[in-house]
Amino acid sequence: MPDVIIRPLDLDRDAQRIAEMWSASDLQWPATWTRGVPFTAEIIREQHREQQLAAVFVAEVDGLIAGYCSFMEG
C-alpha cells in the first residue's frame, strides 16, 4: 500500500497537480465538476486568491495529489 502524505497546500507547487486531479475526476460528479472546462494551474491559483480560506490541505500519493480539503473562514 502506498504512503499517503497529508500536508498543507503549497499553491505554487500543487496548483498544476490539483488541476489535473479535478479535471481527471470530472465525470465522477453529477453534472460534472468542471462544467466542461478543464481546470488549469492558473484557474486553481485564481480561485485560491479569491476565496477566504482558513486552511487548505492536500493528500499526496506517489507524487500525485489524491485529495484536497479546504476550511473556510466563518
Structure confidence by residue, pLDDT tens digits, 13-59 = 999 999 998 888 766 666 666 676 788 999 999 998 998 889 999 99
- Per-residue pLDDT for 2 more than 70? yes
Confidence (pLDDT) at 14: 96
Would you tell me the crossing angle of helices 41-50 and 11-24 to the nearest 10 degrees?
A: 110
Taking the CA atoms of the chain, what radius of gyration do you get in angstroms? Answer: 13
Confidence (pLDDT) at 37: 75
Confidence (pLDDT) at 73: 79
For the segment 1-6, the average pLDDT, to the nearest whole number, is 90
Paired with 60 in beta bridges are 5, 65
Residues in contact with 62: Cβ distance below 8 Å, sequence separation at least 6, in sequence order: 2
Confidence (pLDDT) at 28: 64
| Residue 68 DSSP SS3 | strand
